[in-house]
Amino acid sequence: MNLIIDVGNSFVKLAVFSRNTIKRKEVVDHKHLIESVEKLKRQYPSIKRAVISSVGSLSNKDVYGVNDILDVFVLDSNTKLPFTNKYKTSKTLGADRIALVCASLRRFSNEHVLIIDAGTCITYDFINSENEYLGGAISPGLRTRYKSLNNLTANLPLLDTEKPKDIIGNSTKESIHSGVVNGILKEIDGVIEEYKLKYLDLTVILTGGDANFLSKQLKSSIFANSNFLLEGLNFILQFNSNE
Helix (H/G/I), strand (E/B), else coil: 4: strand
The pTM score is 0.90
The string of DSSP letters for 67-129 reads HTTSEEEE--TTS--SSEE--TTGGGS-HHHHHHHHHHHHHHTTSEEEEEEESSEEEEEEE-T
What are 213-216's contacts with CB under 8 Å, separation 24+?
213/142, 213/161, 213/163, 214/118, 214/142, 214/184, 214/185, 214/188
155 CB-near residues (< 8 Å, 6+ apart): none
CB proximity list for 21: less than 8 A, separation 6 or greater: none
Q: Is 169 annotated as a binding residue?
A: no
Is residue 97 a known part of a binding site?
Answer: yes
Q: Is 136 annotated as a binding residue?
A: no
- Output 232 or 60, whichever has higher pLDDT: 232
Q: Phi/psi zone of residue 208: left (φ > 0), alpha (ψ -120 to 50 degrees), beta?
A: left
The answer to whether 49 is annotated as binding is: no
Q: What is the pLDDT of residues 226-240, one digit of tens each?
A: 899 999 999 999 999
| Domains 2-74 and 84-233 belong to one CATH topology | yes
**Can you give the residue ranges of every domain in the chain?**
2-74, 84-233
What are the pLDDT digits (tens) for 141-185?
999 999 999 999 989 999 999 999 999 999 999 999 999 999 999
Residue 7, annotated ligand binder? yes
**Predicted confidence (pLDDT) at residue 6 exceeds the cutoff of 60:** yes
In the chain, the amino acid numbered 154 is: A
Whether residue 106 has pLDDT greater than 70: yes
- What residues are annotated to the active site? 96
**Any idea which fold 2-74 has?**
Nucleotidyltransferase; domain 5 (3.30.420)
CATH class of 84-233: alpha beta
For residue 9, say whether it is annotated as part of any ligand binding site. yes
What's the CA gap between 100 and 68, in Å, rounded? 28
pLDDT of 243 = 55
| pLDDT band of 17, cuts 50, 70, 90 | very high
